[in-house]
Every structure is written in C-alpha cells, then in structure tokens.
Structure 1
Amino acid sequence: MTFNIGNQNAANINNVGRDQHITGGQTGIVVTSEQALQALAELRAGVKATRLDPVASIAAEKELRDIEADMSRPEPDRTRIAPKVERLTRVLLAAGSLASAGSALVGPLGMLAHWLGALGAPILDLLPALL
C-alpha cells in the first residue's frame, strides 16, 4: 500500500505506517502571522518600557527594526528572522530585562518563537519558565 501525502500544515503531524501509542497527550501551538505581528508590537512596547542601559538599548532597537522590516515583507523569511529574535532575546537576557519585565517581554518573545516553528526552539530555551 502506498500513501502520497502532499503539503501538511498543522501543529502536530503524525504519519504512521503501523501502530502509534501516545501517552501523556500531544499538543501544538499555532501562531498566525497576524498574531506574530501583534506580538512584535507588544515586544516593542515592552522593550521601550524597560530601562535598558544605552548599549543594550541600541542593540535591542537595531534588532527590533530589522525584525519589523523582515516581517513586513509579503512573505516573511523565518530563516532570516529567527537569528534576529534570538539576538534580541540574548540582549534582553544579558541586561536582566527578561527577569525584571516578566511576561511583558517573555510572552511576546514566546509567541514569536512559536510562530518561527522549529527555528524558534533555541529562543524558547532561553526564556524563563514564565510561558
């Protein structure tokens, strides 16, 4: 027997040739482009409200501008955006902002990381367990 499976878009896809047993459930998070843009706007507001030192502020602003430019394209290239979001996360982490600002920064960063899919995994690994 042959299965021809075309494009698949879902949080979880299981193509199983025989038995499959899932224990503990299976979940997935799907973030739309509109939700990702909203998260970016929230992230910008959160960064603006956070008191960063001048060096971190300049670095964060550069990454935010670059992410916004890439996300405003008709078809955003997630492979270009992911490293920028990761760099921004590292800047905020080093400045102590993720711990002090809490969900104001962690929530939008998590949303962007989920929108990036597998490319967002390194970003999620950097975030405090506030998601």
Structure 2
Amino acid sequence: MVFNIGNQQAGVVNNVGHDQHVHDGQSGQVVAGQVELHGLVEDLRQAVDGARLPSAVRPEVRTELTAIEQEAARPEPDKEAMADRLSRITRLLGSAGAAITAGTGLFGAVSALAGWLGTAGRPVLHAIGL
C-alpha cells in the first residue's frame, strides 16, 4: 500500500493502511508560526476591548495582555509565562462577570490562544469548560 499525503496540520492525524488499535487515547499539537501567534494575541485584545469591563478590572487585564504581547514578540516565547497570564486574564474576566462561554468573542479568542500554547494552555482550556 502506498500513501501520497500532502501537507497535514491537525492535533492528531492517523493514516492507517490496516487495523489500528489505540489504547489510552491520543493527543497532539499543531505548531504554528509567529504570524499566527500575533494574530491570536490581537484577537484576544480586540475581544477584551469589546467586552464591557468594570473600570476596576480593565487596567489589570490590559497589563496582562501587554505582557502577553511582549512575550509573543520574542523569538521563542515562553508558553508557560503566557499561559499564566492568560489564566489570570480569564480569572479577572470571570470575576468581572464577563462571559467566556461558547459563541462569544472572548471564548473564541481565549480558547484559540490557549490551544496555540499547547500543554501549557490546557489549564486555561479546562477553566473555560473545554
């Protein structure tokens, strides 16, 4: 059997010619470039800017966002540091009553960036119900 497979990007790709038995699940990570990361961070900034946050929380959220942007600008961003800041943002947004639920801009932006962070972003994904 011959496989002729072009470019594939996904969390897990199984190209199987015969039987496949999977035990204990599968996981994977798509590695995206810097351009995508900057877009994800910008999407998060726009979603936060569009949310009606109380004035007491807004500066803290923006401080965390600025730190994420600075980390994203590095040649090799520290995913753990970014995930910690994203986690703080989600807690601040939640405490402010901002809905981070499916179908909202905040949910999409937070989950997309957390997904890009891979393993480091899993706690954030769990916190928002994924």
Query: What's the TM-score bracket when you normalise by the shorter of the two chains?
Result: 0.7 to 0.9
- Indicate if the aligned counterparts of 2:83 and 2:117 stay in contact, CA closer than 8 A: yes
Q: How does 1:56-95 map to 2 (within 5 A)?
A: 56-95=57-96
How many angstroms apart in 2 are the aligned matches of 1:96 and 1:29? 31
1:32-64 Cα offsets, whole Å, 9 max, x none, are 133232121111111111110112101110000
How far, CA to CA, are the matches of 2:11 and 2:83 in structure 1?
18
Cα distance in 1 for residues equivalent to 2:101 and 2:123: 21
> Percent same amino acid among aligned pairs?
36
Which structure's relative contact order is higher, taking Cα pairs within 8 Å and 6+ residues apart? 1
TM-score, normalisation: structure 2 = 0.73
Aligned residue identity for 1:105? L
Going from structure 1 to structure 2, the CA distance change for 1:31 and 1:103 (only over 3 Å counts) comes to: farther
TM-score (norm. length: structure 1):
0.73
Aligned pairs, how many?
115
Report Cα offsets for 1:64-111 as digits up to 9, x if no partner: 000000010111111221101110111112212124795211111111
What displacement does 1:22 show? Answer: 2.5
Structure-1 residue corresponding to 2:22: 22
CA contact 2:100–2:128 (8 Å) conserved in 1: no
1:61 to 1:118, Cα distance in 2 relative to 1, 3 A: same
Using the alignment, how far apart are the partners of 1:30 and 1:55 within structure 2? 37
CA distance in 1, matches of 2:100, 2:90: 12
Within 2, Cα distance between the matches of 1:103 and 1:36?
20
- Structure 1's unaligned 5+ residue stretches are 1-9, 14-19
Which residues of structure 2 form unaligned runs of 5+?
1-9, 14-19
How has the CA–CA distance of structure 1 residues 101 and 125 changed in structure 2, closer, same or farther, with 3 Å as cutoff? closer
Give the partner amino acid of 2:22: I
Q: Which has the higher helix share?
A: 1
What is the alpha-carbon distance in structure 2 between the residues aligned to residue 37 and residue 61 of structure 1?
16
